[in-house]
Amino acid sequence: MSNLNEQPIRSKAKALLSLHSWSGIVLGMLLYAVIFTGTVAVVSDEVGEWSNSNLNQQMLATQDVDNVLATLAAQTDRAYLEEISAYEDHRQNLVFFFHTHKQNPSGVMDEYGVQYKVNGQGEIVQQREGFGSDIYAQDDSYALSRFLVSIHTELHLPAPWGLILTGILGLAMLVAAVSGFMMHRHLFTDLFTIRKQRDGKPLKRDSHTVAGTWSIPFAILLAFTGSFFSFATAFGLPAMAVVAFGGDQEAMMQTLVGEQAHKSEAPQDSASINGMLADAIGNQSAVPTFIAISHWGTESASLTAFFMPTEGEVGFAQRVYDATNGEFVEYKPLVGTVPSAGSAIMSLIYPIHFGTFAGLMSKIIWISLGVASCYVTITGLQLYAFRNEKQATGWQWFSRMCVWGFTGLPLCSLSSALGFFVSGALQSNQSLWTPVSFLLAAAMVSLITLIIRSVRQLQLILLVANGALCLALPVIRYLTSGFGWIQAIEQGNVALMFIDAVLLLCGVWCFYRVYASNQAQESDHTATEAVASEHVGTLSGAAK
């Protein structure tokens, strides 16, 4: 009877193992790319500040926004006064984007208008006209962080294919996590032990299982929220526009954002922006990340101040002011005009996915979760390569591919940072050279992978290159900006010191790995020689 019961359980476990393995093997390398760059994306703001050696000056709180806005509005086409967004960039400028909304050449609703960058002295340092997405894509101050985040969100594939692919990868991660959880029958008994192989190294299967088991809840959470982002943008919103709004994207956005379709454009003096900002800052005990001013100078004028999560909260906060009299109106829900469960959930998805709800501390924890997920992907694919290599020698290409991807991607990402700094120092186009450096490094890594025959040697070379770049980047950043640690400590620039320190630690770790690998090989070699000489001794004794 028990045999009869065990049969279906075994076949179910086998089916789950197949599902788990194939979802990992087919999409594992791309999944690793998305998880690795996602881990970097958690600190994209800090990477932005670090790459520009900048400290946020809280300019929305310290500058005379009213005065700058009035000067800029006077020289701007009235059509673009429909909405004005303002925020501080990574180069100590206030960015004002006077815009209206219209479809871009890809058929997607976009912002169109004039962007001004104004420095601390109130001087315009840059002026651009065009679609918001194009202007942002050419902004050099965000070149590095934007490039790394874009690999995570859409793998640099054209829309909507990149989003669809990352959505599928999120689902593959979800399938792998759930099937891994279901097929492991001794989940909690195996949670605390990693067995060793005969050579003393940890058993690959146990390393994979332990890391996978501990990170299951977050793997599911991050995979789900990531898939949601990808599919909502690629499918959800366009589908909703077609089904519920007859294809009218503007009407859909007005409903989602919770804005009146027809607003009065009758002129009326607006209240002081500085006053509303001071009130918002006082109430939230923080400076807004950005502000959006709608229909400025009309009787429909309003101001929305957007804040990162405050003390103990997880979701973002949006304070809305009536800009005709400067009075606070409401905390605006993210979706629609009245608070709802859907809006509450929506406002939680971004902070939970990127860990941006409690400053650097939550980001450090989220980075660690990303590293754990990378480790699960790496050990999973290595396990598969190891098992197949033992059975068939033709599978060495898989191990080679693992080294190419796992060690090559960090190297290419570091090279893009190198390209950013060098092109910046040469006054070249950083938005161009950052991705080009990544591609050049990718070509170089691929070439080396094809040329070097020994997989171990290949791994060591790539580790040394990673380590060297990790150690060199903080020095290059210092040489190109002249901004050192003493100034960073004086200014309390934690983001800059954090990224520098992480890079130095990673550099040291890479060289330690190379050293440990050489030591292990030497001891293996000595042990083999000892066994061989013992064997020779036994044979010669027997001959005598």
Query: Rule CB under 8 A: which residues touch another protein?
Result: 189-196, 200, 202, 207, 210-211, 214-215, 217-218, 309, 311-314, 352, 355, 357-359, 361-362, 365-366, 368-369, 372, 375
Closest distance of CB 523 from another protein, Å? 16
- Of the pair 275, 359, the CB lying nearest another protein is at 359
- Of the pair 87, 228, the CB lying nearest another protein is at 228
Closest distance of CB 405 from another protein, Å? 22
**Tokens representing 116?**
């001004």
- Of the pair 191, 530, the CB lying nearest another protein is at 191
CB-CB contact of 176 with 23 (8 Å): yes
Torsion-angle region of residue 268: left (phi > 0), alpha (psi -120 to 50) or beta?
beta
- Of the pair 366, 438, the CB lying nearest another protein is at 366
CB-CB contact of 441 with 416 (8 Å): yes
Closest distance of CB 375 from another protein, Å? 8
| CA–CA separation, 114 and 126 (whole Å) | 10
- Of the pair 236, 359, the CB lying nearest another protein is at 359
Buried b (16+ CB within 10 A) or exposed e, 430-441: bbebbbebbeeb
- Of the pair 356, 413, the CB lying nearest another protein is at 356
Closest distance of CB 207 from another protein, Å? 7
Helices then strands, each counted (H, E), the chain: 19, 8
| CA–CA separation, 378 and 372 (whole Å) | 10
- Of the pair 190, 279, the CB lying nearest another protein is at 190
- Of the pair 53, 362, the CB lying nearest another protein is at 362
Q: Would you say the C-alpha torsion 361, 366, 367, 371 has a positive or negative sign?
A: positive
**Tokens representing 92?**
């100590």
Closest distance of CB 275 from another protein, Å? 27
3-state secondary structure of 121: coil
- Of the pair 108, 365, the CB lying nearest another protein is at 365
Buried b (16+ CB within 10 A) or exposed e, 249-263: beebebbbeeeeeee
What is the secondary structure of 171-213 as a DSSP string? HHHHHHHHHHHHH-TTTTGGGG---B-TTSSBPHHHHHHHHHH
| CA–CA separation, 178 and 172 (whole Å) | 10
**Tokens representing 236?**
């959800």
Q: Which residues are registered as beta bridge partners of 116?
A: 96, 127
| CA–CA separation, 96 and 84 (whole Å) | 7
3-state secondary structure of 325: coil
- Of the pair 133, 289, the CB lying nearest another protein is at 289
Q: How far is CA 100 from the centre of its chain?
A: 29
Closest distance of CB 286 from another protein, Å? 11
> CB neighbours of 103 closer than 8 A, spacing ≥ 6?
109, 110, 249
| CA–CA separation, 510 and 525 (whole Å) | 23
Which of 174, 307, 150, 156 has the alpha carbon at shortest distance from 228?
Answer: 174
